[in-house]
Amino acid sequence: MDFAYTPEQEALRRDVRQFIKDNVTPDVLQEADTESSTAQDQPRGMSPKAAALYKKIYDRGWLGITYPKEYGGQGKDRLTQYIVEEEFTRVGINISLGGSGAPAIMAAGTETQKQFYIPGLIKREITFALGFTEPHAGADLANLRCSAVKDGDYYVINGQKMYTSAAHYATHIYLMARTDRNAPKHEGISIFLFSMDTPGVTVRPLWTIQNNPTAPIGTTYGHARTNETFFDNVRIHKSCLLGEENKGWRVGSMGLNLDRVGASRYLISVRRDEDIVNFVKNNKFDGFDPGKNPAIRDRIAEMWIEAQVCRLMTMRSMSIVERGGKFTYEGSAEKVWAPEHGVRVTESITQMLGPYATLLRTSPHAVMDGVFGHNVMGSFQSGINHGSVQVMRDQVARRGLELPSSRRSAKKVEAK
């Protein structure tokens, strides 16, 4: 077993780094990372300089690398995607297709849906808002109540979604709704894809503590603005259904699992490890060299070991997906380990730097432009969104270890 990169892969990495050096200048980077805070702003990554950068990246064949050529992709392997994505993510440029919609469409979509959505997502002409979470549902997505009622060739949607983060700049929504209220809660769910300008779709801004003040590029996982989205008698054609009616839970779960595989997710949790190592190497305080302190060296070495576990889990997941193997709980395991590693790193950095670790970039005493302070807010969030670590552990127990689900056990107890 060889974990080393091939000479071709190393050459690709050098090529990407050179491209970044030549094209990702600070002004371009600032624009590409600028958050869209109002509906009237340029959508994120769509300002003129950012759009020109993404066009260059697209022309080099580095967007949609793993997607088939007939849908506008490159038809290449996941390790190629990983190398390119890792380099761009390190400088704060997101080249992923933005969520679980694309992999779900590839797995369950009709030919028409694939032909329409996949090239549009790769060229960044289409952006999805993820319409899964609901205010009353808690961490269990299957508690959703947003309903889609069949009416001839149409579905009529009523209900609401919470934390639809891209809703103020998305062109389309990837929505999970209940199509059979009498079925068990994980059944009777369907997924729909439709345009945000469909009559009856309303967006209400929600403001969070994230990215306020604006964080250094690549620091936070989330953004200051997210949204609630309401659906009042939204009428959509049956061709908007993704996959089979009432089988949306499997499609949605699979899409989320696949979205967890890749360099972006891995790097979110390990980038501060690299920052603290650089900080310790490059700073001395009145003769005190933190790199020589046994306690600091011990913690940093431990963080590095944990980060290698994150990397290996990512590689294993990619390998399973690449071989077309059954991929069920591996992404969930990664989604537990990586965010919790990020939290442990945050705690360790706070112990090393004391109160300085919590200062945001607006403070004159902020360390490394406040990356650690902003990370305090960002790292905890990543254990909640895209499936909380508690739900992920449950999936590992059920799917990986084949333990009975707590819900079914409870029913059996009642039957006795």
Partner 1 sequence: MANCPVCRAPVDEEAAKAQTGMTSGGAKEVDPKMGTRQFHDGTWYYLCSLDCRNKFTRDPDGYLKQ
| Rg of the Cα atoms in the chain | 22
Q: Does 120 bind partner 1 (CB under 8 A)?
A: no
* 124 CA to centre of own chain: 16
Handedness of CA 240, 245, 248, 250 (dihedral sign): negative
Who's near 28: CB < 8 A, 6+ residues apart? Answer: 49, 50, 52, 53
Rounded (to 5) percent helix, strand, coil in the chain? 50, 15, 35
Around Cβ 233, how many Cβ atoms within 10 Å?
10
Both structure tokens of 221? 């996982």
Q: Does 194 bind partner 1 (CB under 8 A)?
A: no
Smallest distance, partner 1 to C-beta of residue 58, A? 20
Q: Does 197 bind partner 1 (CB under 8 A)?
A: yes
CA nearest neighbour of 95 among 71, 67, 115, 134: 67
Q: Which of 14, 55, 69, 204 binds partner 1 (CB under 8 A)?
A: 204
What crossing angle do the helices spanning 294-322 and 263-282 adopt, rounded to 10°?
A: 160
Smallest distance, partner 1 to C-beta of residue 124, A? 13
Q: Which of 6, 202, 239, 362 binds partner 1 (CB under 8 A)?
A: 202
Smallest distance, partner 1 to C-beta of residue 382, A? 22
Q: Residue with structure tokens 């702003």?
A: 41
Q: Which of 102, 167, 176, 300 binds partner 1 (CB under 8 A)?
A: 167
CA nearest neighbour of 341 among 263, 269, 265: 269
Q: Which is nearer to partner 1, 77 or 232 (CB)?
A: 232
Q: What are phi and psi of 178, to 5 degrees?
A: -90, 125
Q: Does 110 bind partner 1 (CB under 8 A)?
A: no
Q: Which of 40, 112, 182, 282 binds partner 1 (CB under 8 A)?
A: 40
Contact by Cβ (8 Å): 237, 275: no
Rounded CA gap, 278 and 366, in Å? 16
Q: Which is nearer to partner 1, 21 or 181 (CB)?
A: 181
Q: Does 175 bind partner 1 (CB under 8 A)?
A: no
| DSSP one-letter code for 36 | -
Q: Does 377 bind partner 1 (CB under 8 A)?
A: no
Cα distance between the two ends of the chain: 51
Total residues binding partner 1 (CB under 8 A): 36
Q: Does 169 bind partner 1 (CB under 8 A)?
A: yes
Q: Which is nearer to partner 1, 146 or 377 (CB)?
A: 146
Residues 213-232 that bind partner 1 (CB under 8 A): 228-230, 232
Q: Does 68 bind partner 1 (CB under 8 A)?
A: no
Identity at 232, one-letter amino acid code: D
Q: Which of 47, 81, 113, 160 binds partner 1 (CB under 8 A)?
A: 160
Q: Which is nearer to partner 1, 170 or 367 (CB)?
A: 170
Smallest distance, partner 1 to C-beta of residue 220, A? 21
Q: Does 211 bind partner 1 (CB under 8 A)?
A: no
Residues 136-155 that bind partner 1 (CB under 8 A): 136, 145-146
| DSSP one-letter code for 180 | -
Q: Does 127 bind partner 1 (CB under 8 A)?
A: yes
Smallest distance, partner 1 to C-beta of residue 194, A? 11
Q: Which is nearer to partner 1, 47 or 395 (CB)?
A: 47
Q: Which is nearer to partner 1, 41 or 347 (CB)?
A: 41
CA atoms within 13 A of residue 300's CA, in its CB half-sphere = 19
Smallest distance, partner 1 to C-beta of residue 397, A? 27
Q: Which is nearer to partner 1, 65 or 129 (CB)?
A: 129
Q: Where would I find the H helices in 260-361?
A: 263-282, 294-322, 330-353
Who's near 293: CB < 8 A, 6+ residues apart? Answer: none
Q: Does 348 bind partner 1 (CB under 8 A)?
A: no
Give the interface with partner 1 as residue ranges (CB under 8 A).
Answer: 36, 38-43, 127, 129, 135-136, 145-146, 158-160, 167-172, 195-197, 201-207, 228-230, 232
